[in-house]
Amino acid sequence: MIVCYARGGGLGHLTRVRAYLHTVHPGAVTTIRTEWPRDPAVLARADEIVVDAFPAGLDGEIGAAVPRGPRVVHLARLLRWEAYRPLIQARPLRFHRTWLAEPVSDPHLAYLESVSDEVVPLALADPPAAPATAPGDWLIVHSGPPGEILELVAYARESAVLEGLSPRLVLVSPAAPPGLPAGVAHLAVSPAWPLFATAGRIVSAAGFNVVRQAAPYRHKHRMVPFPRRFDDQFTRAARARRERT
């Protein structure tokens, strides 16, 4: 059994862990936890323990005490390392392997190398999803909060005006925020990535999953990075823009 500890502020951690399981352990028996198990027996029964994104947990709740036996691996992504580093305990958790789901900063990488037997890049693949089409539509993809959704909608509308275009705007989000402008359609569908191939434009924040899933369509992907406690959306967006040119 694989126990995945995936805790975060939205749903992105669950999307990433599902992609990890599909890529590395397809068909495996898995438990996904959004709280670190207090009962050591839960961890002791595992063959592998996966710690997503934050090597010491979202709030530094994970230390070195893990039962002997299970392999402990870390699924790493880009962090604002200077903000996160103070949360790591004096006796940090050690990993048999750290998977790099995207490049991280040099200080972050140096830390991971110091607590991991090996550090290996990993290209994630999402589980299959039903085909979907959005022929020519401009997709605005974000799960919230509402203020950020409206900011992305405003950006898409302004971009269309500046380019002299009149695309149909479609918000892909679990719920439409109050104040969504008239003329912007709403589509509650998950996952959103099957729509990307036929979309005329993709407008989103610069979270890990959407940037990864939209990578094949970078020529039509426009990102508005937002500040986060630990996620470095600004660096991720800058990298993606450089790769587009």
pLDDT at 245 over 70: no
What distance in Å separates the CA atoms of residue 37 and residue 52, rounded to the nearest whole number? 14
Q: Are residues 108 and 167 in the same domain?
A: no
pLDDT value for 10: 67
pLDDT value for 37: 80
Q: Are residues 114 and 162 in the same domain?
A: no
Is residue 129 one of the residues assigned to a domain? no
Q: What is the end-to-end Cα distance of the chain in Å, rounded?
A: 43
Q: Are residues 110 and 146 in the same domain?
A: no
Domain range for 103:
2-121
Is residue 126 one of the residues assigned to a domain? no
- Would you place residue 11 in the very low, low, confident or very high pLDDT band (cuts 50, 70, 90)? confident
Which long-range contacts link 32-35 to residues 24+ away (Cβ below 8 Å)? 32/4, 32/6, 33/3, 33/4, 33/5, 33/6, 34/5, 34/6, 34/7, 35/7
Is residue 107 one of the residues assigned to a domain? yes
* Lowest-confidence region among 28-32, 99-103, 168-172, 214-218: 28-32
Q: Are residues 181 and 220 in the same domain?
A: yes
Residue bearing tokens 């426009």: 222
Q: Are residues 110 and 20 in the same domain?
A: yes
Is residue 95 one of the residues assigned to a domain? yes
Q: Mean pLDDT over all residues of the chain?
A: 93
Q: How many CB atoms within 10 Å of residue 244?
A: 13
Is residue 127 one of the residues assigned to a domain? no
Residue bearing tokens 């991971």: 112
Q: Are residues 99 and 145 in the same domain?
A: no
Number of structural domains the chain divides into: 2
Q: Are residues 54 and 149 in the same domain?
A: no
Kindly report the pTM of this predicted structure.
0.92
- Is the Cβ–Cβ distance between 30 and 4 less than 8 Å? yes
- Is the Cβ–Cβ distance between 152 and 224 less than 8 Å? yes
pLDDT at 47 over 90: yes
Q: Are residues 62 and 161 in the same domain?
A: no
Q: Which amino acid is at 117?
A: D
Is residue 133 one of the residues assigned to a domain? no
| Residue pLDDT, tens place only, 186-211 | 999 989 999 999 999 999 999 999 99
